[in-house]
């Protein structure tokens, strides 16, 4: 996996995490149906953010190894 692919995956995961947080906030106000509790939604979003950070670190390591 090259650095660009790792960054794209990380960006996608961060976007999904942000969507989960926005969904949880909107569900709290009753604008959208609740999928699960706000606590569970925030934990899922946090997990996505951690995985995204891992992909970003991988991209940095690959880029540094390539000498770009």
pLDDT digit string, tens, across residues 1-35: 788 899 999 999 999 999 999 999 999 999 999 98
The whole-angstrom separation of Cα 31 and Cα 28 is 8
The whole-angstrom separation of Cα 28 and Cα 17 is 17
The continuous run of DSSP H or E covering 28 comes out as helix 3-28
User: Could you read off the pLDDT of 47-63 as tens digits, one per residue?
Assistant: 999 999 999 999 899 88
Residue 27 CB burial class (10 angstroms; 0-12, 13-18, ≥19)? middle
Confidence of residue 68 (pLDDT cuts 50, 70, 90): low
Q: Which residues contact 58 (CB under 8 A, 6 or more apart)?
A: 1, 6
Q: What is the pLDDT of residue 41?
A: 92
Domain boundaries, the chain: 3-66
Q: What is the pLDDT of residue 67?
A: 77
């Amino acid at each position: 996996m090259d650095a660009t692919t790792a960054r794209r995956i990380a960006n996608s995961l961060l976007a999904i995490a942000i969507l989960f947080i926005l969904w949880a906030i909107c569900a709290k106000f009753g604008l959208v149906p609740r999928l699960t509790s706000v606590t569970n939604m925030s934990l899922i979003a946090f997990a996505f953010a951690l995985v995204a950070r891992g992909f970003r670190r991988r991209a940095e390591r690959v880029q540094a190894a390539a000498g770009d």
